[in-house]
Amino acid sequence: MKITILIHCPDQLGIISTTTTFIQHHGGNIIYLDQHVDKAANVFFMRLESDFEPSVFDLENFKENFDEKVAQKHQMEWSLHTDEAKPKMALFVSKYNHCIYDLLSRFHAGELHVHIPFILSNHNDLAYIGAQFNVPFYHVPFTKDQKAQAEKTQLGLLEEHEIDFIVLARYMQIIGNELIDRYTNKIINIHHSFLPAFVGAKPYHAAFERGVKIIGATSHYVTKELDAGPIIEQDVTAVSHIHSVADFISKGQDLEKIVLSRAVKLHLKRKTMVYGNKTVIFS
């Protein structure tokens, strides 16, 4: 049975030896250990993958002991994940199909260890994709007058389907504060620029206007400040004066889908930790 433990705590002597010795004493074989110290903040981060013999391993007992003998001693915030759990991911889209097609084709190829209970959109344009991939598609309009109602509907669907995390696969609407509060560091967005350049709407137009020679895409966790959440992944591609805004958009979409999918995979593999407004992305 494979277990992944994520830890962060004030930096201090002996964290690694205490933790690894505890795991060894409980019969665990450490497969991978990755740690990081944020010296400015004096915070220690660690990600541990361990293997346990399932026939003799008592998960609940392990957790209790770990908390008592390791975590409390070091003031750790920690979480433990088994490879048996299969999280539930909701997909929010608007009209562009490239990100959702990319995610669904990966899902179909077995790349993503998730359930996808539903797709939600403020438009009906991509309903056909739900049909193609046999995933329920909810059309929740989000016009000015309907926002409050739409957010209520969104929250209802998320609760009903026990959604663990949300992927905004080019969902072009602002997410409500209540939803952000309920899903802190659990809403993954793709922004179509190399953040922090070109925050907000129409970043490709702004990039074209500025005459940049490189454009980018950024996947980040959603916070209440627009396009300012902790960055998970970024990538870029070259452009030149010969490219129109339409070319920027087309080239950018190739980035967006790859960057978003990479971020989703990192999140699923528990390789992301958020601290302050930054991420630690384990390798």
Distance CA(141)–CA(83), nearest Å, equals: 36
> Is the separation of the CB atoms in 136 and 120 below 8 Å?
no
Active site residue 227: yes
Size of the site for a copy of itself (CB under 8 A): 65
Q: Which residues touch 238 (CB under 8 Å, ≥6 apart)?
A: 213, 214
**Which one of 7, 212, 266, 268 is in contact with a copy of itself (CB under 8 A)?**
212
Q: How far is the CB of 33 from a copy of itself (least distance, A)?
A: 6
- Annotate 226-278 with DSSP letters as a single string: TT-SPEEEEEEEE--TT--HHHHHHHHHHHHHHHHHHHHHHHHTT-EEEETTE
Distance CA(239)–CA(251), nearest Å, equals: 8
Is residue 21 close enough to count as binding a copy of itself by CB under 8 A?
Answer: yes
**Which one of 171, 198, 204, 248 is in contact with a copy of itself (CB under 8 A)?**
198
Is residue 35 close enough to count as binding a copy of itself by CB under 8 A?
Answer: yes
Is residue 280 close enough to count as binding a copy of itself by CB under 8 A?
Answer: yes
Distance CA(136)–CA(158), nearest Å, equals: 13
- With respect to a copy of itself, which residue has the nearer C-beta, 67 or 247? 247
- With respect to a copy of itself, which residue has the nearer C-beta, 158 or 231? 231
Which of the ranges 154-162, 163-171, 177-185, 241-249 carries the binding residues for a copy of itself, by CB under 8 A?
A: 241-249
- The torsion angle over the Cα atoms of residues 234, 238, 243 and 244, rounded to 10 degrees, is 10
Q: Which one, of 168, 238, 174, 232, lies nearest residue 207 by Cα? A: 238
Which residues contact a copy of itself (rule: CB under 8 A)? 13-14, 16-17, 20-21, 23-24, 29-39, 96-98, 101-102, 105-106, 108-109, 111, 132-133, 194-198, 210-214, 216, 230-236, 238, 240-242, 244, 250, 254, 258, 261-262, 277-281, 283
Q: Which residues are catalytic?
A: 227
